[in-house]
Each structure stands twice: as structure tokens, then as C-alpha cells.
A and B are shown apart, each in its own frame.
Chain A
Amino acid sequence: EKQKLIEEVHALVTVRDAKHTNFVEFRNFKIVYRRYAGLYFCICVDVNDNNLAYLEAIHNFVEVLNEFFHNVCELDLVFNFYKVYSVVDEMFLAGEIRETSQIKVLKQLTTLTSLE
């Protein structure tokens, strides 16, 4: 079922080119997405939420990823998917934004990796 969801979202988002807005309606929610090279980062939020703020959140997240992996590329994300998850956990939890300061997040992550 998760796969079905992923396919649906994929179909919705990939057909949109640069001329379209970054927001798309999906079931009862809306998807805010941003495209970075070959990757689409999508966040699914309520219809009432502030679109622009979540665009910023996506960008924040990508910046953290960049810092963490030192110029991240797609392969980094694939090979280290569990680390990506830990970054997600640092920044978002239970559907809300948790920490916005990149410095703090990065510090946290370095400590975590040293534990392993």
C-alpha cells in the first residue's frame, strides 16, 4: 500500500514542469514539493498549512543534508539511507517541525555517528 502511495505521488509530481506552482492537491491534503537536480523532495501537509513556510522547511532540510554528507549527491542518499532517516528524525517528528537550527542538528548528528 505504501508502494501505491509512492506511485501516485510520483505520477502527480513528475509531470509538472517549471511553469507550474510547487503545490499540488492530493486526496484531502496538499503536497509541497521542490526539485533539486534529479530529486523531488515532497512534503504532504494539510490544506490549511502555510505552503511557503514548508517550502522553506524543505530547503532547510536539503541544506542540512548537504552539510552532513559534504556536498551530497544522490548516491550518498542511496547508500546511507539509514543516516538520512536519522537526519529526518532530528528535524521533523510526529508531523511537525522539530529543530530548525542547522548548527544544532549537525552537532547532534556528529555525536550520534560517533556512538556507532
Chain B
Amino acid sequence: MSNPIRLRDLIRQIRSAKTAAEERAVVQKECAYIRDAFRDEDNTWRCRNVAKLLYVSLLGYPAHFGQLECLKLIASARFTDKRIGYLGAMLLLDERQDIHVLITNSLKNDLNHSNQYIAGLALCALGSICSPEMSRDLGGEVEKLMKSSNPFLKKKAVLCAVRIIRKVPEQFDVFQNSIRSLLSEKNHGVLLTAIALIIEMCQQNSQALQIFRKLVPNLVRILKNLIMSGYSPEHDVSGISDPFLQVQLLRLMRILGRNDLEASETMNDILAQVSTNTENSKNVGNAILYETVLTIMDIKSESGLRVLAVNILGRFLLNNDKNIRYVALNTLLRVVHADHSAVQRHRATIVECLKDADVSIKRRAMELCFALINSNNIRTMINEMITFLATCEPEFRADCTSNMFLAMERFSPSKRWHVDQMIRVLTTAGNSVRDDIVSSLISIISSTSELHGYTAQQLYKIIRNDITQQPLVQVASWTLGEFGDLFVSGQYQHPDDNEHVQASEDEIVGVLEKILNWSICTVVTREYAINALMKLSTRFPSCSDRIQSVMTVYACNMNLELQTRAVEYTSLFTKHNPIRPSIVERMPVLVSNAASNTANEETSYEPEESPSFNGQNHSVQSTNPSEHVDDLFKMLDETPQTNGRTDSNTHSNILDLLNSGSPQVSSSSNPLEDILFGDDLSKNESMNGSNSTIPSMKVIDKNGLLIVFQFEKQDSILVIHLHATNSTSIPLKNFTFKAAVPKTFNLELLPPNSTTIPANNSGDVRQIIKISNPNKDKLRMRIKLSYSSNDFQVNDEAELNTFPEQCYT
């Protein structure tokens, strides 16, 4: 067979191929030739053929038929052969192939070879493709090489050890002893590799941490020498001596110093020195400074050092190089939770970064901004964020809006400002807000009664021109439906700006009709609109005919939801006209605390709207459970507690519930629907005089002690059964309960069945309280309880105002 073409020529041929097909043809021809050559067991040109094969595999063509050839090459005596053989092995083989185990023997021989380069080759191969079995076999050899005097071999051996430990952590013992001697080497390369090995060991094995902590003074010394010892041309990069070694040392110090006070103290000085001495004009210096900052943050350093670190990060932010800014923003995000005030100083720069062109920088700047918002800077920050929202990429918008709402909930200076800003956000970002934001906004609006008219006016101003932003339109329809009459009559706190808009009833109805008719609005929005129209039918009596005709039209609509509602509303107009006003009267304040969950059992009736109700039941329980309570029992004095619901857990839960519970999207707007009808039916019930059970009331749930009142009416006396249970593991002894009521009531407190509440809810204490209420006043009670838990006396008192209405009607 003629001499095979040289590697260079093959490469030239392939590169000169003008089309992909031509290239493939060349490659295939050559591969066929190579396969034949391999079969012929020809030694002379084998290495050239394998080299060509490797090139071809680099281009992406399959080359597994060459693996066995590599093995043969490795076994040969010539250096070139071995080189190509090992290279082939590293490229073509990996742990998943079975063949690589066959190399083990050759490797073993080569590791012990007298020629250091051959041993080096073997180590390289071992380091790259080691498998657990191979590591076990060859670990001992590697360790022997680590002790050899040749630094060239030492370095390779150490890194091999790194890989071996990664694969087989038990090999740790084998290498442990030699480490310490390695650290006293002068050779930078060896030091570097030794530190890498130590880092790997420490990450795997906490025992190692203890052992190596003792070495911290050594490390500090090495670092000091590095910085002080002037100019060393070999390892130096742009004037800084061996930055790689410095970075590795710092990293190791970080791992050793974490959670360890003593080690951290020894490091404090050197860290301060490195931070101040390293010049930061070039990337190298910055790399070292960055590593220092990371280390300072992780170990238990003193506060002065931390401030220094944050300042360094601040300087990074001002740097023109976007890499450095990115790195700084990333780290600041981690730091901000620990060291809030220090980061505040750099707030202005961070806000500037919002305008950067790079997406990842923008995202980090945004997250950092949200972390930095507090009550002092909320106004400016929200303004900035709204400008950002207008220009940012769509994938950020959802996050941005939710975060803004969270921030506003926590820090807004006044309700009016809050509502204003939310409206602004909705106008800007509109369709990318999350679903629960609509309901939370609605509950906030309803809870601030002085703003009702004002909000109605603002929203009307916006939507009469533009109804593309769905959530905004939903909120607006709801507000107009509830408070449109306030708006029209002008009895509200006028805004300070000059744009005072007055609208007549017809105009408002017109806008709502436009929303209803416009097919681009989603079904949910149209449902909101139809509900709002219904409510306005009583509030604007002059338009009620117009509204009624709209309903009749929609009674034939293709969409099931709309049709159902329209039909029901039409029947309200015709058959049930007398009760229409009471049904659509103003909703009481929407509250969001999850207290009286038991109230939900009352509402499980409505067969007419069961498809949408199941979804509703879920979401109501987590978002507005007490809406039902409100409407059924007209409790009006619970304070709106919007804080508990605005953490992101609730958001995601609600989202999940809404998603899982509704193949019909309408669940979020059902509260209105269900409450209207819930109200109706409950009135029917009470009119029938049925003895519907009064829901029980949770009185105290604190420190494991749970007290629940259960009510029973016997003629005109209200009997309260008190149940006290204890969920801690310690029984509560000497439990006493005292109660006091206003003068118009009579209270009788019967003795309890025992004064010790057993632990872990295994039993309870019962007591009966009888209250007579001749004047039918609202029941209020003040209670005082005391108990001892493990000889520790606890006294507690509370005022109860929130008794269900049926207790005293």
C-alpha cells in the first residue's frame, strides 16, 4: 500500500473542499483507507494515521474504530507514538467506554518509567480520563510520584490526585500525609497545585478542614512573601507577582476561615494588606481584589474589613469595564442582606446600572434595587423603577411588577401615593403583571374609604382613552362599579392637579359597555365589566333600562360565562327585582387575613354556578376568606391586614391554586358573583329562622395554646363552650380563664373540667360560659388567662370584638 498522505496534506485537502458534501467525501475516503491500514497491522504509519483520525474526529466525524489503535500506540516504545496514543486516548475515550480500563496496565508501566516525560504523559492521561477503578489501582503510584524530586512530575501528580479524590473520595488518606511537605516548596507551580489539592480535599471532607486549619499561618506567610518580595519576572503578570497563586491562596483561606473565628483573626491583617496594596488599574489587580472581597465576606471578619470590602465593590461599580461591574453587582446582591447600610451608599450607581445595555447587568441591578428599597428612598426608587419598566425586556416585567408591589406594600408613605403608583405601574406594564395583583389592588382600594371617589376618577380618566391593559381595565371596572356614584356626585377629595374630570352616569355606562363589547378584551375583563354594569343599575337609576337591555343582549352570547351572568342578571331585573338593590349594594371592606376559615363551610351550596365555584373555593380560602364572613355576618371592624399575604410564597401558592383550580379563567372574578348570591341565599336561610350553626371562633393561638369558642343559643342565652388545647410537648398547669363583659350583659362562668392542659393535643380543657344579652347589643369580651409551663408562669389577656353576629341578634 502506498504511503499514506501526511497529516498536513489531509488537513489541506479538507479545508480546500468547497462544499460540505465534498468535505464529507474526502473524509470518508480517508477513513476507509485508515480502517484498511489498521486492519493490516502496519506499525510504521500507524501514528500518522491515528493523528489524521484525531483531526477528523475533532471535526465531528465518528472515529471510534481508532480506539484500539490508540492502545497499541501507547504500548509502543517510541515517544511520538506514545504521545499520539495518549492524546487519542484522552480525546476518544471517556469513562463510559469499557476499553479504557485496558489502558490501566500501560499506564502503570509508564508511570514508573525512568523517562520523566513519558511518566508525565501518563499522568496527563490519568488526570484527564481517570475512572474510579483506575484511581484505586493507580493511586499508590501517583502518590509515590508526588514525593519525587522532580517538580515537573510533582505538579502533574498532585493534579492527578485532585482528580482521583474527586472520583473516589476515600483515597484521601493516601494523599494526606504528603501534603504538608508540599506546602514548603519554593516552586510556584507546585504550590499552586498543592493548594488546589487542599481545596478539593476540604470541599469533600470536613475532617480535612480541621487538619488544614492549622496550616493557616503558613498560608498567610506565603501570601505575605508573594506580595512583599518584589519583582519576579517568571510568574508575573502586568506587574503583579503570580496573581494565580494569590487567588488560590485567598480561596483556600476563604474555605478554611468560614465559620472559624480563630483562623479568621489570623487572616484579617493580610487581607487588609492585600486589599490596600493591590493596584486595580488592570484586570489582574481586580481579579485579586474580587477574590479578597469574596473571602472577607465569607469568613468571620471584623466590621471594618467588611466596610472596606463593600467600598471596593463600590469602586468596581464605577469602573468602565462591564465585566467588573457585573461581578460587583453579583457580589453586592449576596452582601446586601448581611450589610444593608453599607450598600445603600452606592445606591445611585446601582440605579445607573439599570440603564446598561447588557441584559445580565440590568437584571442584577434590578434585583439589587429592590433589595435596597426602604421607607426613606421609596419614592425616588419607584420612580426610577417605573421608567425602567417602560424600557425593559418583557421577561423582566413580571418580576419587576411583583417586586414593586411588594415594596410598595411594605414601605408606601401614604395610601393615596400607593394607589397612584400602582395605577402607574399597571398603565405601563399592564399585561405582564401576575394575576393576584388585581385582587390585591382591589382589596387595597376598598380598604381605604376616603380614596374611593378619587380612585374612581383617576381610573376613569385613564380608561376612557385606552383599554388595552387588561389588569388595569379590570380594576377600573370594579372601582367604577362600586364607587361610580361617588365619582359622579363629586363628593370626594379632589386631586391637586388641574385635570379634574367630571363624568355623567351615561358616560360611565358607555365606557363599561365599550369594554364589554370590545372583543380584544379577555373574558375575565368582560366579566368584570358586566358585574360593574349590574351594580351601577341601582346606583344610577336613570341608566337602569339601558343596562337591562345590555343584559338581555348578552343573554344570547356565545361565551358561557358571560351568558350565565347575563341570564342571571336579567332574571334579577325581572323576577327578583325587589331584592336587586340589596344584592348589589356596596361591598364591605375586603379583608385578607386567613382567620375564620370555618366560615367557608357555610358557603357550600350554589348549584347554579358549581363549575366556577370549585376553583373559587380554593382561591377564596387563601386570598379572601373573610369576604364570605363579611357578607354573611356583616362584621365590619376587622382591620385590613394586608401584610401577611404579600410574601412571594403566597403569590406562588395563589398562582398554583388559580392555575390548578380553574380551567375556566373566571375564578378570580367570582368573589363578586358568589358573594352576591351567597348573600341572597343566606338571607333566605335566616329568614326561614333555621337554627344555622354559628361558626366557632378561634380566640387565642399563641405559644402552642389554642383556645376555641363554640357557640350555642338556648332561647335568649348564648352558651359558649371553651376548648383549650396545647400543642407543645409540655403540659400547661394551673390554667385559669377569666372573662369580663360590658355592663349590659350578664356573664356566668362555670368551672372548667380540669386545670391542666395535657401536651401534644392529647386532651383539652372545657369550660362553659353563659351570656345573656337582653338589649341585643354587640358582644364584646375581655379575657385574661394564666398558666404555668414548666414552672414558668405566663399571663395573657386579650380583647375580643369579633364575635359572629348571630351570637347576639
Contacts and interface: CB of A to CB of B under 8 A. Distances in A.
A51 B290 CA distance: 9
A6 B58 CA distance: 11
Contacts of A51: 290, 323, 327
A50 B245 contact: no
A93 B159 contact: yes
A22 to B, nearest CB: 5
B159 A79 contact: no
Contact of B286 (A52, A79, A85): A52
Interface stretch (B186-194, B269-277, B399-407, B505-513): B186-194
B242 A108 contact: no
Contact of B287 (A3, A53, A101, A116): A53
A21 B155 contact: no
Interface string B404-418: 000000000000000
B132 to A, nearest CB: 15
Interface in B134-185: 152, 155-156, 159-160, 162-163, 166
A93 to B, nearest CB: 4
A98 B283 contact: no
Interface string B354-377: 000111110000000000000000
Interface in A45-93: 50-53, 55-57, 60, 78-79, 81-82, 85-86, 89, 93
Contacts of A55: 283, 287, 323
Contact of B192 (A3, A98, A115): A98
A21 B163 contact: no
Nearest to B62: A3
B323 A21 contact: yes
Given A3-B60, A55-B323, A99 B159 contact: no
B8 interface: yes
Contacts, number: 134
Interface residues of A, number: 40
B290 A103 contact: no
17 contacts: A3-B60, A20-B357, A22-B323, A25-B360, A50-B287, A50-B291, A53-B291, A60-B244, A79-B8, A81-B55, A81-B58, A93-B159, A94-B160, A99-B192, A101-B189, A102-B234, A116-B80
Given A50-B287, A56-B244, 14 more contacts: A20-B357, A21-B358, A23-B323, A51-B327, A52-B287, A60-B237, A79-B11, A82-B83, A86-B87, A93-B159, A98-B189, A100-B235, A101-B188, A102-B234
CB-CB nearest 6 A-B residue pairs: A52-B287, A94-B163, A93-B159, A94-B127, A96-B196, A94-B159
Interface of B: 7-8, 11, 15, 51, 54-55, 58, 60, 79-80, 83-84, 87, 90-91, 117, 123-124, 127-128, 152, 155-156, 159-160, 162-163, 166, 188-189, 192-193, 196, 233-235, 237, 242-245, 247-248, 251, 283-284, 286-287, 290-291, 294, 322-324, 326-327, 357-361
Interface of A: 3, 6, 19-23, 25, 50-53, 55-57, 60, 78-79, 81-82, 85-86, 89, 93-104, 108, 111-112, 115-116
